Amino acid sequence: MIWGSVWGALRRNPLTLFGGCVVVFLFAVAVSATLLPIPDPYAIDADAVLEVPSFAHPFGTDELGRDVLSRVVYGARISLWVGFVSVGIAIVIGTLLGSIGGYYGGWVDGLIMRFVDVMLCFPTFFLILAVIAFLEPNIGTIMAIIGLTGWMGVCRLVRAEFLSLKERDFVQSARALGVGNLRIIARHILPNSLTPVMVAAILGVAGAILTESALSFLGIGVQPPTPSWGNILTSGKDNIQIAWWLSLFPGLAILLTVLSYNLLGEGLRDALDPRLRGMR
């Protein structure tokens, strides 16, 4: 019944539907990239260096003659992979710490929240830059660092939900029946506190994609020749005077992807909010 009303709210929001369709399309393209009739993104063609967009190369070619469309498509795999894995890491850490702090309270909650405050004192992007300076820049490192520096918001959301839910009658009844704390957390409170976590995860994917693209653009993210939207933009910067397409198409890919995830997340948040559902 609830999900029926949520779906009805989503269908009435054209921007959310647009974002959802683009997200599904990008995911399908990324998963089936090896099956698409596109050239090898690593194939170098000295006779096709910096060709303008044409029928043979719809997005043109780069400074090594590689097909930009293929590199953008395969770059989508990297960006989405980084987004999903890093957000997954952040969700696990934030949910675990937020659950413990919100349920037990007291000095445990105070210790966790002070740690969150310390982490929030550092600008996330510059913290990532500082950590990468001491580690080898590769896709695994990028995913781990983005995840390990992006859990604080989820922790606060889950803690707030636990502080509210642990005083509800169904939790008090479970305690009266002698149900253990771990079972109460896992079976009674946590499932009822995942709605804001779901929205935060969708919005977090957009942020992770932006962070990965920025790091790759700076040369400390995904390293060439592996295609990434960020390092394709680096090629575009180096050839901006003569090859506009190298900046345009990966930039549009980043814009469309981040916008779509944000539209989907915002629409889902509104649809899942019972107060807003009642106003419709």
The total of structural domains in the chain comes to: 1
Question: Residue 200 falls within a domain, yes or no?
Answer: yes
Task: Quote the Cα angle for 58-17-83, to 5°.
Answer: 65
Question: Residue 53 falls within a domain, yes or no?
Answer: no
Question: Residue 227 falls within a domain, yes or no?
Answer: yes
Question: Residue 96 falls within a domain, yes or no?
Answer: no
Of 74, 31, 79, residue with least CA distance to 215: 79
Of 3, 45, 74, residue with least CA distance to 268: 3
pLDDT in 10s for each residue of the chain, 280 residues: 445 555 666 677 788 888 889 999 999 998 898 888 888 999 888 888 889 998 989 999 998 889 999 999 999 998 889 999 999 999 999 999 999 998 888 899 999 999 999 888 877 778 777 777 777 777 888 888 889 888 999 999 999 888 888 888 888 888 787 878 888 888 888 888 888 888 889 989 999 999 889 888 888 888 888 888 988 998 888 888 888 999 999 999 999 999 999 998 888 887 776 554 444 4
Question: Residue 9 falls within a domain, yes or no?
Answer: yes
Crossing angle, helix 245-272 and helix 14-31, to 10 degrees? 120
Q: Are 192 and 166 in contact (CB under 8 A)?
A: no
Question: Residue 8 falls within a domain, yes or no?
Answer: yes
Please give the model's pTM, rounded to 2 decimal places: 0.86
d(CA 50, CA 63): 5
Question: Residue 167 falls within a domain, yes or no?
Answer: no
């795999």: which residue's tokens? 77
Residues facing residue 61 across a β-bridge: 67
pLDDT computed for residue 69 by the predictor: 93
pLDDT computed for residue 5 by the predictor: 58
Question: Residue 119 falls within a domain, yes or no?
Answer: yes
Domain that holds residue 110: 2-40+58-87+105-152+193-279
pLDDT computed for residue 10 by the predictor: 65
d(CA 75, CA 70): 8
Q: How far is CA 72 from CA 41, 79, 86, 166, 253, in A?
A: 9, 10, 21, 47, 8
